[in-house]
Structure 1
Amino acid sequence: MTSAAMALLAVAALLIGFAKTAIGGVASIAVTIFALVLPTRESTAAILLLLIVGDFVAVWHYRRDADIALLRRLLPAVLPGLLLGALFLSRVDDSTLRRAIGGLLLVLAALQLVLTWRSPDASRVGSSRAAAGSTGAAAGFATMTANAAGPVMTLYLVAQGVDKRRFLGTSALFFFGVNLCKVPFSVGLGLFGSETLSRTLALLPFVLVGTWVGLHTARRLSQTRFDQAVLAATAVSALALLVG
């Protein structure tokens, strides 16, 4: 791998750490970088280990802010979504997977934009069992195939009207659990080679630096800017994958 490629992966690792403790949508840009630099299948495993490290830091810092009740509504539907995502991964080539990731992210970004203009009844819809079930299944599929369930969770949590710290705490706990569950699936698909593991170890310090920057940024970020940044990051990364 060239030094330029490793530098891009280091930037992506920084963005992962930043996303986990500040603006979740920025992780979509990291997903895009990994999918463009590495073979797409390999990229899903390489980035997964880095995401788990970022999740751990975020869970520890925001441990008092997680909303367990919201998570309980999602969990029953996550496993079917993971299984469907694993099946999809086993059947498509890299080019198809890359464009599927981009299309998925772009659709979710559009849904977030619609949600910004939602009707007064949106919070009631977001609290329904159907919304929780569909969010859980979509998050499971998106995170298994693309490590890209952040926009799905954003839709759900914004519909609940959660504040910034509750948003970050709930997302952190959800993704820490889901990403740990994904490890056996990725191992079964043969995605964890020795090169992937050694590259992950080399990038870990950059994730930790990113989490530190994110924690300091989150304290200064307003809720409006937070929502706008998540949407913009998701849209940019989706377009990059679709045209890449």
Structure 2
Amino acid sequence: MITDPLFYAVAIPAVVLMGISKSGFGAGFGAIVVPLMALTVPVPQAAAIMLPLLAIMDLMGLAALMRQADWTLLRRLIPAALLGTLIGTALFGVLSSRTVAGVVGAITLVFLAIRLAWPPRADSPPPPAWLGTLLGTVSGFTSFVAHAGGPPISFYLLPLRLAPITFTATLAVLFTAVNFSKWLPYGWLGLIDSRNMATSLVLAPFAPVGVWLGLKIVRRINPTWFYRLFHLGMLLTGVKLVWDAWA
């Protein structure tokens, strides 16, 4: 397993942050976890180490939130996101990690700017179904390459003005399906090895901590503040990813 203390100094807070993100509170911050870990290990290795931890977080979130999810949305989003993972498998290794970081960061900032410049009114129609399919596919792709699927799909979900618990539950079910679909292609690409899995095992006790903290908060937070914090997470995520691409 990895023994570098600097890696764990970065990885442990990153795992807790991802757990909080997976439970919905601060969900916009989840996309920066792999780039943070990539300060000490390559992006593909960081993604592989996170995969078993995401499985733990997903199962915890699924058990707590599955009944609150919007299954009408999920019937459209899950197939689209799985298509995105297939595209990610095909392009993995072709696109550099810096390119992926820059694309995800730019998409995040553009989406956020549009959202803030033209906020939906109470009488605004919901986004078209085709946009959900498109952004679901983009989300599956960015999730595959860097566990950064939250920002694209959030651009579609945010205007729907779902209750925080429904928003969180819908994302939880979506990314459980996406993350479990990654195991076979990650193994085929050679990312599932004993060193990465042993490192994941060391970090595993920290995964439930973040989920527990996030679930405690998301059930109590005012919807207005929930979405303000989500927007802040998207802003910081976008800036960090663009910085990683150009630094």
TM over 0.5: yes
2:39 is paired with a residue whose SS is: helix
Count of residue correspondences: 241
TM-aligned CA deviation for residue 61 of structure 1:
0.7
Do residues 167 (structure 1) and 170 (structure 2) align?
A: no
Do residues 84 (structure 1) and 64 (structure 2) align?
A: no
2 CA distance for matches of 1:198 and 1:209? 19
User: Which residue is 2:227 aligned to?
Assistant: 227
The letter of the residue matching 1:45 is: A
User: Which residue is 1:138 aligned to?
Assistant: 138
TM-aligned CA deviation for residue 155 of structure 1:
1.9
TM-aligned CA deviation for residue 121 of structure 1:
6.3
The answer on whether the counterparts of 1:139 and 1:153 sit within 8 Å (CA) in structure 2 is yes
The answer on whether the counterparts of 1:81 and 1:139 sit within 8 Å (CA) in structure 2 is yes
2 CA distance for matches of 1:168 and 1:8? 26
TM-score (norm 1): 0.89
1 CA distance for matches of 2:108 and 2:54? 18
Structure 2: stretches of 5+ with no match in the other structure: none
2 CA distance for matches of 1:43 and 1:235? 22
User: Which residue is 1:49 aligned to?
Assistant: 52
User: Which residue is 1:29 aligned to?
Assistant: 32
Structure 1: stretches of 5+ with no match in the other structure: none
With over 3 angstroms needed to count, the CA separation of the structure-2 counterparts of 1:107 and 1:148, relative to structure 1, is farther
User: Which residue is 1:61 aligned to?
Assistant: 64
2 CA distance for matches of 1:76 and 1:86? 16
With over 3 angstroms needed to count, the CA separation of the structure-2 counterparts of 1:90 and 1:30, relative to structure 1, is same
1:195 is paired with a residue whose SS is: helix
TM-aligned CA deviation for residue 25 of structure 1:
1.3
TM-score (norm 2): 0.88
The answer on whether the counterparts of 1:111 and 1:155 sit within 8 Å (CA) in structure 2 is no
The letter of the residue matching 1:176 is: T
* RMSD, aligned CA: 2.0
Q: Determine which of 7, 10, 30 is the counterpart of 2:9.
A: 7
Q: Determine which of 106, 110, 115 is the counterpart of 1:107.
A: 110
The answer on whether the counterparts of 2:80 and 2:134 sit within 8 Å (CA) in structure 1 is yes
With over 3 angstroms needed to count, the CA separation of the structure-2 counterparts of 1:120 and 1:213, relative to structure 1, is closer
The structure with the greater share of residues assigned to helix is 1
1 CA distance for matches of 2:20 and 2:173? 16
The answer on whether the counterparts of 1:21 and 1:168 sit within 8 Å (CA) in structure 2 is yes
